[in-house]
Amino acid sequence: MVVSMREGEIISLFMKHFERHSLGDDAGFIKLNNSWLLVTSDMLVWKTDVPDFMTPEDAGRKVVTMNVSDIAAMGGRPMAFFFSLAVPGDVSEDILRGIARGINEGSKVYKLKIVSGDTNEADDIIIDGGSLGIGKRLLLRSNAKPGDLVCVTGDLGRPLTALLLWMRGEKIPREIEEKARNPRARVEEGVKLSSLANSAIDISDGLSKELWEIANASNVRIIIEEERLPISDSVKEIVSDPVKVALASGEEFELLFTIPREKVEELDIDFKIIGRVEGGNGVYIKRGRKIEELEVLGWEHLAGGIDVEL
């Protein structure tokens, strides 16, 4: 396949042409009275985003989760889900029923009302979901401050490990498959973080990429420590380079955030401190005594896939 433009280049091209925009964060935001309205859309393309260890139910639920996660990353509370669906003319009723069940499950898990739907015809199944939320104080990528601690919720590595095992035709252990098939957005964590943290992003493209997003948007230097990464135990048992997998693994839907040191004790959620924010630029990783610049690992659309092995 001729790859003419990478995802990042396409985004730049669009941003260059838009005269009135506020793109660049996990969700869009508009001030309304004393609140922030949040809105996001995130598309699932069957061919690239639904490996066959996922059921149609998993896919439907995931579309809800990935959109809700973008609202959570802004510190918002999701209120509604909406979607546009495209299907081939010969799509089976079983697949459609599965997708519908999955979306319904997702809407119940996150207590959302499904408010809008649109149906179309295309060659592949495409579900573009969206979520509407509301927040009091926004968590932007661009607000990390020197002195902040860098933290992450949950554990890392399972979704990518599942994908790598699947690509090799190997059996996926249940605990690893669980997060790959049924990840959960960190809604309550996001709401609690909204009054305390300075910046946040959800881990949809891999920790290393999200760290660079925050460092670049905030114009700060981030240093993380290799041994502090919350790598899933089951991942450690299977992969040869668990750190690399944890840094590259996307669709984790964990929250990566930075928070002033003095506010950490007020934070009533499970999280792990993995590093700190300093003045300067770039993202660095401490491996034993060595500090080196962190490479961006993980998935980029239109860039030819994944650069990590089992």
Cα 151 from Cα 274, distance rounded (Å):
5
Q: Which residues inside 2-61 make contact with its own copies, applying CB under 8 A?
A: 2-5, 7, 10-11, 13-14, 16-23, 27-30, 32-33, 37, 39-43, 45, 47-49
DSSP secondary structure code for residue 76 in this structure = P
Cα 190 from Cα 197, distance rounded (Å):
9
Of 126, 217, 264, 269, the one binding its own copies (CB under 8 A) is: 126
Judged by beta carbon, residue 2 or residue 240, the one nearer its own copies is: 2
Structure tokens at 205: 């493209």
Q: Is 142 exposed, middle or buried (0-12, 13-18, 19+ CB in 10 A)?
A: middle
Number of residues that bind its own copies (CB under 8 A): 75
Q: Is 25 known to sit in a ligand binding site? A: no
For residue 115, what are the CA distances in angstroms to 48, 79, 121, 126, 291? Answer: 27, 10, 21, 19, 49
Q: Is 40 known to sit in a ligand binding site? A: yes
Q: Is 58 known to sit in a ligand binding site? A: no
> In degrees, to the nearest 5, what angle opens at C-alpha 51 toward C-alphas 157 and 82?
90
Contact between 136 and its own copies by CB under 8 A: the answer reads no
The C-alpha torsion from 249 through 250 and 255 to 258, rounded to 10°, is 70
User: Nearest approach, Cβ of 301 to its own copies (angstroms)?
Assistant: 5
Q: Is 307 known to sit in a ligand binding site? A: no
Of 109, 134, 296, 310, the one binding its own copies (CB under 8 A) is: 134
User: Nearest approach, Cβ of 104 to its own copies (angstroms)?
Assistant: 5
Q: Which residues inside 65-94 make contact with its own copies, applying CB under 8 A?
A: 79-80, 82-87, 89-93
Binding residues for ATP: 117-118, 141, 204
